[in-house]
């Protein structure tokens, strides 16, 4: 498990986050498919249901999110947050595009309708920016174990490069969202809510994609422990 609580980035203001996202935007991944081979049917059946799900989830246009972000930015007088969040959404859309390229290479169709994605969107819209970010960061923390496990599922260098890029980008995302949550009160009931949200999400994700996790060396105990560990770090950052 990565420990990101000591990172310099945790001291970033929104202005600095904006700078970071602009900088990171210049380091986009060029996926090399020159050595890519056909995957076995067994591997395809194991990995693509979850890849299609994540491809859909990473591809949101963030329209409702931006409305809540604008209200927050005006209230807290941090106009840079709006641009930082737009850049963040663009980065997530790149993630979706990487996965789409991988799916295209292997002739796998995108998912039009996703139950998990719909549940997440509904949950996020229950409140303002705080609710959006709380749900969003839960998914991003689960993504950390997912891309780690996925990268160990095949010998595909293309997929490994995608997973490495995801992990490189997602850890700062968790810090960025945790910083926003630090603008709100973090009382015990708030923390409990985050714990329950993570537990329920982890149960769903394990139920749906455990084969990918198992092939990537995770059992349920390790999976839950890592996710709760990331949540503990995020709660620590939001309490600052």
58 binds Fe ion (CB under 5 A): yes
84 CB burial (10 A radius; 0-12, 13-18, 19+): buried
Kindly state the helix (H) or strand (E) to which residue 88 belongs, with its residue range: helix 80-105
148 binds Fe ion (CB under 5 A): no
**Residue from 117, 140, 148, 226 in contact with Fe ion (CB under 5 A):** 140
The distance in angstroms from the start CA to the end CA of the chain is 22
4 near 175, Cβ under 8 Å? yes
Q: Which is nearer to Fe ion, 130 or 220 (CB)?
A: 130
Q: Does residue 132 bind Fe ion (CB under 5 A)?
A: no
Stretch in the footprint of Fe ion (CB under 5 A) among 43-51, 73-81, 133-141, 228-236? 133-141
Shortest distance, position 178 Cβ to Fe ion, whole Å: 12
124 forms part of the interface with Fe ion (CB under 5 A): no
Quick check: 110 and 56 in contact, CB under 8 A? yes
- How many residues are listed for the chain in this entry? 240
Size of the site for Fe ion (CB under 5 A): 6
Residue span binding Fe ion (CB under 5 A) among the ranges 38-46, 71-79, 85-93, 102-110: 85-93
Helix, strand, coil percent content, the chain, rounded in steps of 5: 75, 0, 25
The least distance separating Fe ion from the CB of residue 57, rounded to whole angstroms, comes to 8
Give φ, ψ of 74 to 5 degrees: -70, -45
Query: Residue 73 or residue 142: which is nearer to Fe ion going by CB?
Result: 142
**Selection from 159, 140, 141 nearest residue 212 by Cα:** 159
* Closest approach of Fe ion to the CB of residue 75, in Å: 24
* 173, 180, 205, 233: residue in contact with Fe ion (rule CB under 5 A): 173
Kindly state the smallest distance separating residue 199's Cβ from Fe ion, in Å.
20
Nearer to Fe ion, 5 or 96 (CB): 96
92 binds Fe ion, rule: CB under 5 A: yes
Q: In angstroms, what is the minimal distance from the CB of 179 to Fe ion?
A: 14
Tell me the closest approach of the beta carbon of residue 104 to Fe ion, in angstroms: 18
> How would you write 128-197 as a 3-class SS string?
CHHHHHHHHHHHHHHHHHHHHHHHCCCCCHHHHHHHHHHHHHHHHHHHHHHHHHCCCCCCHHHHHHHHHH
Task: State residue 51 phi and psi, 5-degree precision.
Answer: -60, -40
**Residue nearer to Fe ion on the CB measure, 7 or 220:** 7
Q: Report the residue from 52, 95, 100, 194 that binds Fe ion according to the rule CB under 5 A.
A: 95
> d(Cα 37, Cα 21) in Å, to the nearest integer?
33
**Which residues contribute to the site for Fe ion (CB under 5 A)?**
58, 92, 95, 140, 170, 173
């Amino acid at each position: 498990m990565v420990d990101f609580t000591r990172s310099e980035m945790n001291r970033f203001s929104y202005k600095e986050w904006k700078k970071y996202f602009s900088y990171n935007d210049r380091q986009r991944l060029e996926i090399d498919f020159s050595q890519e081979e056909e995957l076995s049917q067994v591997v395809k059946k194991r990995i693509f249901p979850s890849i299609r799900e994540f491809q859909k989830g990473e591809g949101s246009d963030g329209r409702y999110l931006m409305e809540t972000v604008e209200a927050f930015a005006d209230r807290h007088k941090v106009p840079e947050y709006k641009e930082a969040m737009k850049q963040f959404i663009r980065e997530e859309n790149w993630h979706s595009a990487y996965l789409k390229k991988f799916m295209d290479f292997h002739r796998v169709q995108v998912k039009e309708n996703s139950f998990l994605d719909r549940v997440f969107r509904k949950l996020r819209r229950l409140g303002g920016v705080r609710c959006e970010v709380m749900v969003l960061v839960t998914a991003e923390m689960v993504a950390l174990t997912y891309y780690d496990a996925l990268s160990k599922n095949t010998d595909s260098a293309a997929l490994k490069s995608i997973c490495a890029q995801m992990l490189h980008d997602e850890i700062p995302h968790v810090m960025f969202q945790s910083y926003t949550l630090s603008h709100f009160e973090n009382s015990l009931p708030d923390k409990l809510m985050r714990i329950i949200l993570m537990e329920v999400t982890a149960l769903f994700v394990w139920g749906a994609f455990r084969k990918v996790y198992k092939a990537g060396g995770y059992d349920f105990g390790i999976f839950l422990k890592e996710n709760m560990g990331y949540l503990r770090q995020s709660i620590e950052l939001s309490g600052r």
